[in-house]
């Protein structure tokens, strides 16, 4: 089975109370970084678990959430609904991020192949 490679942009962990931002994307405007930070932290505050925003190999933006097996406070249904709400409310942000990835990351990688 061939698993697609993904690149994590950012994420938050409710267990460790930590936020992560991939420095490969440091050129993203600060206002966008702040918005991503807020999205990730609020998600884990509301639902718990671990939440990440990543790029698929084709540049599409994905959101993933999971929890520890013993986390009885984590609600998979609520997490799925919140992911859908974020995707709907932040559609333009994710489209812009996908474009950024395609133009600046994928093109740079293609240029290094030659």
Q: State the pLDDT at residue 104.
A: 84
Distance CA 48, CA 75 (A): 8
Q: Report the residue count for the chain.
A: 114
Distance CA 30, CA 41 (A): 16
Cβ atoms of 67 and 50 closer than 8 Å? yes
| pLDDT tens digits in sequence order for the chain, 114 residues long | 455 689 999 999 999 999 999 999 999 999 999 999 999 999 999 999 999 999 999 999 999 999 999 998 898 899 999 999 999 999 999 999 999 998 888 766 665 544
What is the β-pairing status of strands 18-21 and 50-56? unpaired
Task: Say what the pTM is.
Answer: 0.89
């Amino acid at each position: 089975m061939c698993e697609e490679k993904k690149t994590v942009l950012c994420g938050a962990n409710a267990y460790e109370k930590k936020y992560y931002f991939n420095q490969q994307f440091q050129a993203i405007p600060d206002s966008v970084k702040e918005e991503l930070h807020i999205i990730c932290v609020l998600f884990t505050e509301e639902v718990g678990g671990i939440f990440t925003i990543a790029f698929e190999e084709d540049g599409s933006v994905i959101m993933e959430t999971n929890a520890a097996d013993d986390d009885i406070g984590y609600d998979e249904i609520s997490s799925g609904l919140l992911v859908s709400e974020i995707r709907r409310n932040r559609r333009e942000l994710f489209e812009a991020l996908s474009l950024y990835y395609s133009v600046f990351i994928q093109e740079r990688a293609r240029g290094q192949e030659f």
